[in-house]
Every structure is written in structure tokens, then in C-alpha cells.
Amino acid sequence: MPDPVKAGRRRAGAPSKGDLRELKILEVLEDLLAVKSFDALTINDIAERAGLSRASMYFYFSSKQEALVALFARTVEALREKSRAAADDPAPPRDAIETAMRRTRDRWREHGLIMRVAIDQASTIPEIGALWTETAEIFIDAITAILIRAGAADHDGPDGAPAVARALCWMIERSFYHASAVSREALDQAAETCQVVWLRAAGIEP
């Protein structure tokens, strides 16, 4: 299977006809997941919607699982970039937290469906599990950096910034996962609640 991270990155220079066709396949897959479960979806469904023969489809992706990995890689790459930016944000901790939460919420607003599907498939598609774990670690590093700048203790104990950051990261993931399946309003509320928890963990009055 191709490197999932490379699969999600835009190639340098003008895209070729093949690049555009691959992008079309991924867009089709995301559209289909809005009306059909991943388990029920077939490679033929994707090929037909993309205007390709089954044989042509296999030239780009050998399975629907491989296509999902590529789609998820492309989706989480923006989350990785935003998390790295949060870690380096020179703004006061309160502002950095608000910015990080807004950016994360916006990504879930735009691609919540594909993120939920991928998370559901992570236990059976190792490449997706690895991508999500790596993305979470980048976000955990960003949360840790902001907590330390806010005065949190930098040690390995249960009340140290790294441990608190890890708990915050997975709380945010679960909260956004469930809220994004309900409505935009529920996602907004979840983001506000997670922001309050993060601020309090940083010793900042919400």
C-alpha cells in the first residue's frame, strides 16, 4: 500500500491528468459516504460515480480501504499543520487556546463525516490508526506547549503538562466526534465546552 501521508499531500507543480482523476475519486468517495456506509460501499460504486471502469479504478487504488486512507491523509494534513502552528503561536495562552479550538472545530465542521468514518475503521485499517495517532501526538505537543507557557508544571506526573495535554486531546476528539454527527450547533457547543476545560486546566479563568 502507498505511503498514506504522501497520498494525502498535493504534488509539487501543476497537477497531471492522473492527479486530477485521483482527486476526483477521493471527492467521490467522500460524497458517497454521506449516503452509504463504508461497509456497504463497493469499489464499483466509487468507479461508477467517478466515471471510471473497474479496471481503471484499480490503477489508482487497489481497494476502497486504500482510497479511504488517501482521503483521510489529505483531510488530517490540515489538522497537523494547524496543530504545529498552535505549538508555535506566540500569542498569550488564552488567545492561543481560542485559536486552536476554532481551527480544530472548523476542520470538523468541514470534514466531520470522513473523520468519523476513518476513526471507526481505524481498528481494521492499520494505516488509518497510525495516521490518527500521529496527528493526535502533534496536537498533544501543541497543547503541552501552551499549558507550559500558561504556567503548568512540566514533568511526567499525572498532573504534569504532558499528561494533562493527552487527556485534553482525547477529550476533544471524543467530544467533536459525537457532536459533529448531531449538528453544527452541537459541534459549536462542544468546542466552547472543551475550550473552557482547556482554559481551566491552564489555570486561566474562562
Whether residues 19 and 83 fall in one domain: no
The CATH number for 102's domain is 1.10.357.10
Whether residues 125 and 53 fall in one domain: no
Q: Which domain holds residue 146?
A: 73-201
Whether residues 96 and 196 fall in one domain: yes
The set of cell numbers assigned to 41 is 460501499
Whether residues 24 and 104 fall in one domain: no
DSSP letters, 24-66, are HHHHHHHHHHTTS-TTT--HHHHHHHHT--HHHHHHH-SSHHH
| pTM score, whole prediction | 0.85
Of 34, 64, 94, the domain-final residue: 64
136 touches 173 (CB < 8 A): yes
Whether residues 195 and 97 fall in one domain: yes
Q: Is residue 91 part of a domain?
A: yes
Distance CA 176, CA 186 (A): 9
Q: Is residue 190 part of a domain?
A: yes
> Mind listing the pLDDT tens digit for each residue in 29-85?
999 999 999 999 999 999 999 999 989 899 999 999 999 999 999 988 988 888 888
